[in-house]
Structure 1
Amino acid sequence: MLAATVSAFAQAASAPSSPAKKELVRKVLQLQQQAIEGTAQALVEQPAARLLQQAGMALQTRVPAEKREEVAKAIQADAKKFADEVMPLMRERAVGLGPTTIGPLLEERFTEDELKQLAGWLESPVVRRYQQLAPEMEKALSEKLIGDTRATIEPKLQALQQSIGQRLGAPGAPADAASGKKTIPPAPKASAAKK
């Protein structure tokens, strides 16, 4: 009896989806295009933001005060150029991959009736408004969270960076300062900032 149940389940799982189910999957993917594009955008913005954060810290120690603003603007321009070049490619590719990556998961894990319900829910004006508001809500929370915790977190982050620098034997780490040896960290390579 167990073998018959397993066999029936395997046949059902490997059976091709109906045209109606495939159309529902296509509709759900279309309704989720903004979220798919958002994933691509995050994949571009997160590493760029980390690089900008690292550059901001390096500016304070490696660039003379009178040149910091100019260098910061140049770095911002490089980051914008990167995003402008990469973002359209990532969005287009993400939307193109949706049917072959997300589509099979939807077909496999949702029944036709569930896909109808999901599409109806995604088409709801309330859900659309909520999805449109989501980036603004995330930004508001992030800004407030960073503002409220910066004074506590930054010293801990700097201590972590110093600890890591000491463990790696990086020049300019507190061990060098204690020995009286003055070290100047090397300036970042221009080509590395543009990649």
Structure 2
Amino acid sequence: MFIARMTFRFNRLAVATLLSACVATPVWAQSADGKAKLIDKLLTLWHPEDVVVMMVQRPAADAVQQARIALQGRVTAERRDATLKDMAVDVQKYINEATPIALDTARRQLASSVVPILQQQFSEEELKQIIAMLESPVKKKFEQMIPQMERALGEKVVAESRAAIDPKMQALTQAVGLKLRAATTTP
């Protein structure tokens, strides 16, 4: 009887320990394998699931841009701005609702999509090199400087090419506006 109770307690402890490990640790990193631990660290640094945020937000941004184009020249600036502001509420609601769903799905799918590719295509040494690159202070510094560099380049391009590009942009806007008006007024 004593042995049976001890076995039952041991089994409950083993199950509890196993369950806590499964909840706390991603499936691909549960083994003692060094490669699995490296993959877990790589995914923590890389965040491949962030691509779904762009996948969710791109259609919303495109819809707003298309609406802006469709409204331009057809309604007053005040009405256009009010309509776009009203649309922004719907767009934000969509983003707030769709993004968590997509991120949750992406996180669940990592183990069956990205992890096998990393396991098959990269050695432990290569994974260590990728991690070192992602953790590099020089990379972090470079990434912090990107907005400043992009802004500096953008300002120079605008300053130098505005006179040549503005008339082309105005012509494009007029042409698109005329075609939209013609399409909406012709039966």
Question: What are the within-5 Å matches in structure 2 for residues 83-98 of structure 1?
Answer: 83-98=95-110
- Which amino acid in 1 is paired with 2:68? G
**Helix, strand or coil: the match of 1:92?**
helix
1:155 aligns with 2:155: no
Q: What is the number of residues matched between the two proteins?
A: 152
Using the TM superposition, give the Cα deviation of residue 114 of structure 1 relative to its aligned residue in structure 2, in angstroms: 0.8
Using the TM superposition, give the Cα deviation of residue 51 of structure 1 relative to its aligned residue in structure 2, in angstroms: 0.8
Larger radius of gyration: 2
Using the TM superposition, give the Cα deviation of residue 93 of structure 1 relative to its aligned residue in structure 2, in angstroms: 2.4
Aligned to 2:123: 111
CA displacement, residues 45-75 of structure 1 (integer Å, 9 cap, x when unaligned):
2221111111101222443555223212101
Between Structure 1 and Structure 2, the one with more helix by share is 2
Q: Which runs of 5+ in 2 are unaligned?
A: 1-30
Aligned counterpart in structure 2 of residue 23 of structure 1, from 37, 42, 52 = 37
Question: What TM-score results when the alignment is normalised by the length of structure 2?
Answer: 0.62
Aligned to 2:15: none
Give identity over the alignment, percent.
30
Change (3 A) 1:157 1:40: farther
Change (3 A) 1:104 1:131: farther
Aligned to 2:53: 41
- Distance between the aligned counterparts of 1:106 and 1:137, measured in 2? 33
Aligned to 2:88: 76
- Distance between the aligned counterparts of 2:34 and 2:62, measured in 1? 44
Greater mean deviation of Cα atoms: 22-31 or 61-70: 61-70
Contact 2:72 2:177 in 1 (8 A): no
Using the TM superposition, give the Cα deviation of residue 140 of structure 1 relative to its aligned residue in structure 2, in angstroms: 3.9
Question: What TM-score results when the alignment is normalised by the length of structure 1?
Answer: 0.59
Q: Which runs of 5+ in 1 are unaligned?
A: 1-16, 174-181, 186-195
- Distance between the aligned counterparts of 2:150 and 2:85, measured in 1? 23
Change (3 A) 1:143 1:157: farther
